[in-house]
Amino acid sequence: MLRFTRWTLMVGLFWLGGMWAVMAQDALRALDAPVRPVPDRWLPTPREPELVPPPKILWREQGTPFRLLADRTAHILIEDEGYRLAADALARELQRYGIRVAIRVGQPEAGAIFIGGSPALQRRHPVPDQQGAYYLQVRTDAVRLIGRLPEGAFCGVQTLIQLLQPTVGALQANPVRIIDYPHLKWRGVHLFGSTQADFLPRLIENVIAHAKFNHLVIECGYGQWDAIRDAWVDISAPKAILRAAVQTARCNQIEPIPLIPSLGHMAWAFRNSANTHLAEDPDTPWAIAPRSAATRPFLQRLYDEVCELFQPRAFHVGLDEVTLRGRFPYRPESQGATVATLLVEHAEWLHSELKRRGVEKMLMWGDMLLARSEAHDGGAHAQSPQEAQFARERLSKLADLVICDWHYTPAEPDGYISVPTLQGAGFREILATTWYNPRNIATFAKAARQRRLTGLLQSTWAGYSLNERTLQGIELRQFVAYLIAGAYAWDTDLPPPEQLPYDFERLFITRYRLTPVPLQAQEGFVVDLTRAYNFDLTALSPLFAQLPTGIAHLDGHRFELGGARGVALAALRAAEIALNRPVRALYILHTLAQAVEMGKEVGRLSVQYADGTQTEQPLIYGTHLRAWNDPLYALEGLPLWRGRGTDGSRATARLLVWRNPRPDVPVRSVQLIASDPAAGWTVLGMSGE
């Protein structure tokens, strides 16, 4: 529950005391905030590694850390070329820190990182005989990573990346031995295509692969397929972008699976009034007409095109929510048939078509196989228990059919009653399909392991086309949930989400951005706000008493702080800090006293240049900032500091990074303007370079 009462009282006191009228006459207050150059505006700062997903067995050993020096070449030795992808992933991470990398085939040697996983090596090291398993040993003089074949080695590299921490002049990892393996062998993410060229590759490589997923379902009905050219719209993903996503997935040990919704959810084929002659209900073009003579040739052309691009081993055909919109059955050729009959006929034909194209497995959603009484939530859309049973009996006979059983409402593990129903019908492969709710992810993953399901599929429902704008608001929670799902799919025995120690928001933003990290101190300047502080943040929460006092490097960023003190802009309305220097970037540690509506401007930076011009940066709720106790996320507001209570409560201060679009022109001053005083924008520290 958000707590606003103390801040509301403070604002009221300002008003009642007559101060607001005085501030209106003097809207811009010059702050007494000296600016000093410092040699360590940025200082590489190691932290305790957050290993997500957590390893099953970890022994911490004695000895000095293994170090990769910034001024020397790091050597990665691979057993054979099958481990090149794992080595490449590690090399990309090391290059982020400016470390040169050499990869070659060879045997373990001092000072190097060795990656292998042949059966012979597995016999000599404690590698569990499970898909994705690995053994990782970090010693002072070398690192040895033995995976269960290339997939296990790739998973081990993701753990090694988390172990390596920046310090002055080097990356280092403390000596450990790790034995690790996943509880669920099939771990996947479902998402949509994109029109932003770099978005999916970045998300796949930086986040999804790092979370040790091994499957990716790309829903791409909204694609620029030649078979549906007349239905293209502005969100139709170009083939080049889809191809890049497929290639990125494969380069990161992830199997890409196309999803082309069939039967229902086919509005993508009918856009611009195209192909409506194929709609079961032309007045509401949603479901395709399964018995129309023109339907099968149309889909065959499309599937040929999709298979040419993906070269898939598995194909997801949708088949969900068939009757959600429009009339179904409706066309004359469908009269007399039940929904279940049409569903089964179409699914059987799809299965034969995919087999003919060499596709090994067909995936479909499970809701049309379940009646309302056979699921604990809304993930069931069969017309009746009898139709559900008929569809299950017929489709369970299809070899290699995988059912994606989606349920997004949390239940206890034995409360997912659809699972025994589907298993009892004879379906051998079932994926527990989850959404953004952490509790649902945790309990359905546990149910998947207990009931011996194939694995877990984490779904994304944030529009039919994804891009970075999708991350700017509330839907960021769906993408942070990838890390939560990765953790629980790997280890279903983890405690409930509210008890986990991980900062999933910070981890997601850091991985998605993956900015370069210097291994040397970087000079800059700090703004000393201590004489301008006017607000004690413990009035919001005693957790702010955990804030440091004096010089503090928070994830490498230097600030000079006054403990639980800050500059409350509501009390000043607008404040100005004289800089009078060249500025490449400003770094502001700040928070909000209370929540406002999503998308509202709560503050504004106005940067005044020496030549008399200015530029402004609005601060938007949900994008740059959230209230100190708002549990949701902000992509442009990295949580740089968290205070934590024993009851699980948190207080958050976020980082704003402002990049100067005109670094060649000196900055005279920066103005901090409280656009919405009731939000309580409060600045704790500022530095720059």
CA 449 vs. chain centroid, Å, equals 23
Structure tokens that stand for 626 in this block: 């959230």
When pLDDT is cut at 50, 70 and 90, the band that residue 473 belongs to is confident
CA distance 69 to 77: 17
Whether domain 57-180 has CATH 3.40.1670.10: no
Residue type, 643: G
State the CB neighbour count (10 A cutoff) for residue 27. Answer: 11
Residue type, 88: D
Helix (H, G, I), strand (E, B) or coil at 671: strand
**373-408 burial, b for 16+ CB within 10 Å, e for fewer?**
ebbebebbbbbeeebbbbbbebbbebeebbbbbbbb
Task: Find out whether the peptide bond into 54 is cis, omega within 30 degrees of 0.
Answer: no
CA distance 146 to 275: 53
Burial class (CB in 10 A: 0-12, 13-18, 19+), 517: middle
pLDDT (tens digit per residue) in 449-467: 999 999 999 999 999 999 9
Query: In the chain, where are the structural domains located?
Result: 5-43+521-688, 57-180, 189-513
Q: What is the pLDDT of residue 320?
A: 97
Q: What is the DSSP letter of 672?
A: E
CA distance 2 to 474: 17
Burial class (CB in 10 A: 0-12, 13-18, 19+), 354: buried
CA distance 583 to 665: 8
Rounded-to-5 percentages of helix, strand, coil across the chain = 30, 30, 40
Q: Residue 431 forms beta bridges with which residues?
A: 404, 455
Q: Residue 604 forms beta bridges with which residues?
A: 618, 673
Residue 217 confidence (pLDDT) above 70:
yes
pLDDT (tens digit per residue) in 304-358: 999 999 999 999 999 999 999 999 999 999 999 999 999 999 999 999 999 999 9
Helix (H, G, I), strand (E, B) or coil at 670: strand
Residue 361 confidence (pLDDT) above 80:
yes
Structure tokens that stand for 454 in this block: 């194939």
* Domain 189-513: assigned CATH number: 3.20.20.80
Residue found under tokens 């172990």: 163
Number of residues that this document lists for the chain: 689
State the CB neighbour count (10 A cutoff) for residue 452. Answer: 9
Contact status, residue 590 vs residue 653, Cβ threshold 8 Å: yes
Q: What is the pLDDT of residue 16?
A: 32
Contact status, residue 673 vs residue 604, Cβ threshold 8 Å: yes
Q: What is the pLDDT of residue 8?
A: 52
Report the percent of the chain where pLDDT is more than 90: 94
When pLDDT is cut at 50, 70 and 90, the band that residue 571 belongs to is confident
Residue found under tokens 């279903």: 492
Determine the average pLDDT of the residues in 556-578: 94
